Amino acid sequence: MLILAIETSCDETAAAVLQTAGANIKLLSSEVASQIKLHAKTFGVVPEVAARAHIESIIPIITQSLKNAKVRLTEVDALAVTVGPGLAPSLLVGTDTAKALAFALRIPIIAVNHIEAHIYSPFLKTPRYKLPTTHLVFPAVSLVVSGGHTEIFLVKDWLAYKKLGRTLDDAAGECFDKTARLLGLPYPGGPAISKLARSGKPVIDFPRPLLKADNFNFSFSGLKTAVLYYLRDNSPLPPLTHSTSSGRKLRRNEGALWKANIAASVQAAIVDVLVKKTLAATKKYRAKTVLLGGGVAANHMLRIELENASRKSKINFLAAAPEYSTDNAAMIGLVGYLYARKRRFTPLPRMTARANWEI
Ligand code: KG4
Ligand code: ZN
């Protein structure tokens, strides 16, 4: 089966082509048109600006994806498209494009939940792979951490899961983005903080909200406020005693180190909570595997710490490859296929954007 997948839930316009047969999946192409530069100016995504950019990119990205896959549009057997959750104006672009294609080509379509796609994204490998046997992987605990979501799921099987917890306020990626802005770093903040953190040490003990709570919920908005107060109450540098050029250079270096220590401490606080809560969930539900997906899964420290903690507990660890951590259409195609092989297609009249779709 040839599946064309489309993703436009936030600020990436993406298309992918997958060839599937039983448990075998071949990823023929996966293209992403990023709007990062566009949204860097506003330090975040402005929905209408994002939607306009999706409208410009959607046909070129689908065309490129088909071309790279060496597949003609008329050869596609099914469509998979993200219908939610996400920004409504962005979702409408992908949903309506896919709907029109399905109608014109007379092929079935699958409405995909974006978070469900992040859950299964660790199974994506390039260029071909085999879906593992159920009993080797499940039950699993999935941590989905992105700019809009921080959620933990118990994954009992393919397409069978239960939400165990979620953030009560900001998402982990949002916390990276907001603290980066406080530190004068560019958007998106996650990669900028993790880069700066490499030259610092986590010497500041920022709060770990809800770490001790007897549930799997998160709260990150207090951490952003703690950074704000820390910046307000702590001066980066001792008073200047003399002003030689070497003295000024020393002050610049000290200032840079001070900032790097804050970045390292913010990252350590976020990672600490994510790792400990995920491991607690694996113990409670006797999970065999930890699955890590979503944009923040690209964070090196989170990957290392979660892998080490999982190994210590003799649990498999599967993280989405960095290119499939941030938004992409390959993961939408994979979930589309999981539904298609059960013949669970979505009737065209029911195909509509669902900005607040909770799973
Ligand atoms: O999944 P994603 O591409 O889009 C959403 O669905 O939100 O995630 C984007 C988020 C942003 O908040 C970005 O700062 C964060 O993922 N991110 C990272 C890293 N790379 C991207 N956070 C921490 N470390 C990274 N290396
Ligand atoms: Zn996402």
pLDDT band, residue 39 (cuts 50/70/90): confident
Q: 327 CB less than 6 Å from ligand 1?
A: yes
Give the residue with greater pLDDT, 127 vs 277. 277
Judged against a pLDDT cut of 80, whether residue 25 lies above it is answered with: yes
Amino acid identity, residue 171?
A
CB atoms inside a 10 Å sphere around CB 41: 10
Residue with the smallest CA separation from ligand 1 atom 2 is 295
Task: Tell me the C-alpha to C-alpha distance, in Å, between residue 263 and each of 40, 58, 194, 235, 352.
Answer: 19, 36, 7, 16, 41
Judged against a pLDDT cut of 70, whether residue 249 lies above it is answered with: no
> For strand 316-319 and strand 140-145, is the pairing parallel, antiparallel, or unpaired?
unpaired
Residues 6+ apart with CB under 8 A from 78: 1, 2, 3, 4, 107, 108, 109, 110, 336, 340, 345
Considering the domain architecture, whether residues 280 and 265 belong to the same structural domain is answered as yes
Q: Are 76 and 336 in contact (CB under 8 A)?
A: no
Burial of 252 (0-12, 13-18, 19+ CB in 10 A): exposed
Residue with the smallest CA separation from ligand 1 atom 22 is 190
Distance from the alpha carbon of residue 294 to the mean position of ligand 2, in angstroms: 5
Index of the ligand 1 atom closest to the CA of residue 187: 14
Amino acid identity, residue 92?
L
The distance between the two most distant Cα atoms of the chain, rounded to a whole number of Å, is 77
Query: What is the CATH number for 36?
Result: 3.30.420.40
Span 138-146, mean pLDDT? 97
Q: 299 CB less than 6 Å from ligand 1?
A: yes
Considering the domain architecture, whether residues 101 and 186 belong to the same structural domain is answered as no
Considering the domain architecture, whether residues 42 and 162 belong to the same structural domain is answered as no
Index of the ligand 1 atom closest to the CA of residue 326: 3
The mean pLDDT value of the chain amounts to: 94
Index of the ligand 1 atom closest to the CA of residue 86: 6
Token readout for 317 is 């660890």
Tally the domains of the chain.
2
Q: Express as a percent the part of the chain with pLDDT over 70.
A: 95
Q: 147 CB less than 6 Å from ligand 1?
A: yes
**Residue position matching structure tokens 């000024």:** 248
Considering the domain architecture, whether residues 174 and 85 belong to the same structural domain is answered as no
Span 88-98, mean pLDDT? 97
Q: Give the tens place of pLDDT for each residue, 174-231.
A: 999 999 999 999 989 999 999 999 999 999 999 998 998 999 999 999 999 999 999 9
Q: Give the tens place of pLDDT for each residue, 50-89.
A: 899 999 999 999 999 999 999 999 999 999 999 999 999 9
- Probe residue for ligand 1, chosen from 296, 301, 304, 328 as the CB with the greatest number of ligand atoms within 8 Å: 296
Q: Give the tens place of pLDDT for each residue, 319-350.
A: 999 999 999 999 999 999 999 999 999 999 99
Judged against a pLDDT cut of 80, whether residue 155 lies above it is answered with: yes
Token readout for 32 is 């992403």
Residue 211 φ/ψ, nearest 5 degrees:
-60, -35
Name the residue range of residue 315's domain. Answer: 135-320
